[in-house]
Amino acid sequence: MEYSIAVLKGDGIGPEIVSEAMRALEAVGEKFGHTFTFTEALIGGAAIDAVGECLPERTVDICQGSDSVLLGAVGGPKWDSQPAANRPEKALLGIRKELGLFANIRPAQLWAPLADACPLKPERLGNGLDLVVVRELTGDVYFGEKKRDADGRAHDDMTYSVAEIERIARRAFEMARQRNNHVTSVDKANVLETSRLWRETVARVAEGYPDVELDYLYVDNAAMQLVLNPSQFDVILTGNLFGDILSDEASCITGSIGMLPSASLSLSSRGMYEPIHGSAPDIAGKNLANPIATILSAAMMLRYSFNLPAEAKAIEDAVGRVLDAGFRTADIAKPGDEYMTCSDMGRAICAEIKNG
């Protein structure tokens, strides 16, 4: 089969890590007989520099004309003085909205060879750390009305509709069915009306999934439980703002944010796939970044957008074997140990894909 992929390398380390993910996809293509065609487009600071706007229309068109989208990272200090409407981050929100990417899937798992990097005491880990945050991505306070009053007050309207809550809740329950049949819905229903609607709606959707266990946590408690007893979680279902915060927390307790991929899914098979980490301007262009999160994001694309689970697993297994063999980039190497470059890590993973 042939699959078309829009490639948005973005800023900072974006170009380096995305190039390695493209290489990994090509290796998979060779092995399994698929063709991946790549069309690059500008986003974020790179787009501001080239054409003056963070999300050019042409970029949206290229994404909409492709089977899926691979993204590096956007932003950096260079563009901090841009007006709010043209900041690189705005491009991310814009492309999510344009492509209808309402479901953000952020798995946080501990890779056994990197277990030392976990900042939690081993006894806190119980039977391990393997959860996924299912974050609603196109609603909430992110997209509600924003305004400033003359008297110096600012507003960000937090809003959710039943339909928006239903479709993300269904995604979370479906996800739980492919994992350990447990959803924890996180809200602030003791204070927020949107959260009360969230809870009612999730409860109603849950009736269609009697095989999935459902519980609720307030977001403050959830933040605490994530560091006290993370193994109680399977699927965390939450809104846009709480999901933003909790997914950073969940990823950092694995100790290796350079390893974690993410998927943003729509009602169609087109999704956008990107590492959880940012553009790391301090190491940009030095060939020091860890490409694994982006390579694993490409694996998620194969699984969720192209329905190619064996091909996805070939990438994930290759990453596992490379780590088992002791290969490390700087971010996951022990202090004082040797480490390899971004491109060497990419090559090592490709070799494993071909051998696997």
From the CB of 246, what's the least distance to ligand IPM, in Å?
10
- The CA-based angle 170-21-23, given to 5 degrees, is 140
Long-range contacts of 83-87 (CB under 8 A, 24+ apart): 86/48, 86/53, 86/54, 87/54
Binding site for ligand IPM (CB under 6 A): 89, 92-93, 244
89/213 with CB nearer ligand IPM: 89
- Determine whether 248 is an active site residue: yes
Among 166, 244, 249, 316, binds Mg ion (CB under 5 A): 244
If contact means CB under 5 to 8 A according to the sort of partner, which of ligand IPM, Mg ion, none does residue 249 touch? none
- Determine whether 67 is an active site residue: no
From the CB of 343, what's the least distance to ligand IPM, in Å?
26
Measured at CB, which residue is nearest to Mg ion? 244
Task: Please pick, among 157, 220, 282, 324, the residue that the annotation labels catalytic.
Answer: 220
93/114 with CB nearer ligand IPM: 93
- Give φ, ψ of 133 to 5 degrees: -90, 125
Burial of residue 109 (CB within 10 Å: 0-12, 13-18, 19+) is middle
Task: Please pick, among 3, 9, 11, 142, the residue that the annotation labels catalytic.
Answer: 142
- Determine whether 142 is an active site residue: yes
Q: At what angle do helices 342-355 and 292-304 cross, to 10 degrees?
A: 40
Handedness of CA 115, 120, 121, 125 (dihedral sign): negative
Residue 8 three-state SS: strand
Q: At what angle do helices 14-32 and 292-304 cross, to 10 degrees?
A: 50
Note whether 89 binds Mg ion by CB under 5 A: no
- Determine whether 220 is an active site residue: yes
Note whether 40 binds Mg ion by CB under 5 A: no
- Determine whether 121 is an active site residue: no
Catalytic center residues: 142, 188, 220, 244, 248
Binding site for Mg ion (CB under 5 A): 244
